[in-house]
A and B are shown apart, each in its own frame.
Chain A
Amino acid sequence: MGKLHRKTLETGVEGLGDSYFTESLALSTPPDDPDPLDSNLLLRELQWLLQDATGDVGRSQNPDLVPLRADLGDLYGLWRERVLERRPFQYVVGCEHWRDLVLWVGEGVLIPRPETEVVVDLVREVVIGRSGRGDGEEVWADLGTGSGAIAVGMGGVVGERGRVVATDLSEVAVKVARFNVERYALKDKVQIRQGSWFEPLEDVKGKLTGLVSNPPYIPSRNLPGLQAEVGRYEPKLALDGGESGMDHLIHLCEGSVSYLKPGGFFAFETNGDEQSEFLVDFMVSKLENSFRDVKAVADFAGIKRFVTGFRS
C-alpha cells in the first residue's frame, strides 16, 4: 500500500493541496447545485477519510512516513465520488460511527442515522428499570435491522439474561448485519434472521420482552425529492413507507399485539410529529386495551421521533 509523508498529514489538507484535494474542495459547491454541500462538513469528512486511510503511525519503521491503507490515487477517486457524485461519505469509507460502534455499511443497507441511536438508550432505560424482576431469558427483537446497528447496540445493553433476534428481508442487509454482530463478538447474543418483519419470529411469538424497529416511513410521493445522497444511493426498500409512509409502522403496531408478552416494551422510529401523534392515537383508540403508557418521545432536535409503550 501507499505511504504518506507525515508532515503532509499533520499540516492537513493544505499539504495535499496542489495535486489533489483542494481541487475537489473547490468543486464541492457547483454554483448550480440547489442542495449544496456544507464546506465545513466536507472538510471534516476529508480529515476522517485520511484518518481512516492511514495506518498506525507507531508501527511504521520510519517515523516520518505514515502507512496508507489505499493508494493516494484511489483515495482521490473516492473523494471525487463523494463530492461530484454525492456518494454518501459512509459508503465511501465503508463504515458508520454510530454510538460507540464502528459499523460496516455499504450500498444496499440504510446508513444508520444519529437519531436512531436513541432507540438503544430507550431500551437500556427499560432494561435498568426491569432489573431484579423475573429470572428467565429475555428476548428482544429488532425488525428490519439493516446494518444491524440497533441489534448490535441492544446486544450491549440487554443484560445477562437478554438476547436479541433481528430480522431483515434483504439478503445484503442480513450479510452486513451478521458481519457487524461478529465484529463485536456478539454471535451468542444477537441472532440475525432473514425474512419479512415478524415472519421469522414464530418461535418467540407472544414471548418478546421488547420489540424495536426503524422501519421505512417516508411517504412514497416524497421519494423523488430526497437529498442526493439518500435518493441516489440508499435502498428504496429501507425508505419507502407507502402512500402515507405508515404502511409498515401500522403492520408493526398490529403485530406487536400478538408478539409481545404482557408488559413487553416497544419503540418505533417514525417520520416525526405527525406520524408519531397518529400512531399514539391509533394504538390507544384502535388497538384499545392492548397497550399502556403509549407516548411520543422527541429526538435531540425536538421532533417527536419515537413512539414507545408497553403491552398491557
Chain B
Amino acid sequence: MPADPSTSRSGSATSPGRLVRKTVPLRHPGRWAAVAIIALVFASLVASASANPNYQWNVVWHYLFSAPILTGLSHTVELTVGSMAIGIALGIVLAVMRLSPNPVISTAASVYIWVFRGIPVLVQLLFWYFLSALFPRLSIGIPFGPSLLSVDTNHVITQLTAAILGLGLSEGAYMAEIVRSGILSVSPGQNDAAKSLGMKGLLTMRRIVLPQALRIIIPPTGNETIGMLKNTSMVIVIAYTDLLTSVSLIYARTYETIPLLIVACIWYLAVTTVLMFVQSGIERRFGRGFMPRREPGRLARTRARLFNRSATAGATHVAGGGDA
C-alpha cells in the first residue's frame, strides 16, 4: 500500500520527513595548537628546574622553614596587615573628607592625596626613617607656643614605625580614591530613604552606604593588599628584617642567591594565595542581595568549569541516543 500523507504525519520519528539530525560542534584547531605550545613551554620549564643544578633545590628546602626566614615572613605579614589597616582607616576618613561640602576640608584631603600619591614610596620610607635629621625631637604643643610633650625622634621612629608609616600613609592616599568611588557608587536615593526614616548622617554611612560601597571597594582593596605584600620588600632600604631582607642577609653570606630568592618567591606566592581566598570569601559576604543565593565558592566553581564540559557532552550524547 502506497504511503499516504496522513500515515506519514502520524508515523514515528523514523519516517524520513522527521529524521532528527545530529549536530557536529565546530572544531577549534587553533586552540589545540595553543594548548600544545603551552604544554611544551611547561614541560621545558619542569625539565630545566629538575635538570639545572643551579636551582639548588636542596638549599631551597633547607632554608624554606628556617628560623630567620620564618621571622622575616612574619615581619612581612605584620607590615602588610599594619600598613593596610592604617591605609584603609585613613582612606575612609580622607574619602569622607573629600566628599565634604566644606571646601577647606575637601581641599585638605585632596592635597594629602596629591602629596602621598605623588612621592615614590621608597622616598617616603627613607624620609620617615631619617626623620630625626629634620626634627631631632618630636613634641606635642601649641604652634609657636609651649610644648606639652617632647620625645627623642630616634626613640619613636624605629625601623618598624618608619616602615609602617611610610607604607600606611601612602596607602591611605590610594585607598581614599577607592573608598570614594565606592561611596559614589551608592545611589543618592539610599541617602534619601535613610534620612526619611530619621537616620542621621553617621548611622546612614555605617549601616546603609558603606555596606553597599564595600561591594565596590573590596576587589581593588584585595589588589592593594597583594600589592602591599610585595611593596613591603622595599623596606630593605631601611634594613627592616622583612622576608626579602632576611633572604638577602643569608645569600650575602653564603652566595646561594638563586635558591634563596626562590625561597622568598615561594612564600610570597603562598601568602598571595591565602589572600585571594580571603578576598573571594569577603566578596561573597558583601554580595548579599546582589548575587544569586548560595553561589558556590571558588573551589566548587573551578570544579564545575573543569567538569562541566564533559558533563554536557555526556548529556548531549544521551539525548542523541534517544533520538536515534
State whether these chains interact.
Answer: no
Residues on A lying within 8 angstroms of B by beta carbon are none
Residues on B lying within 8 angstroms of A by beta carbon are none
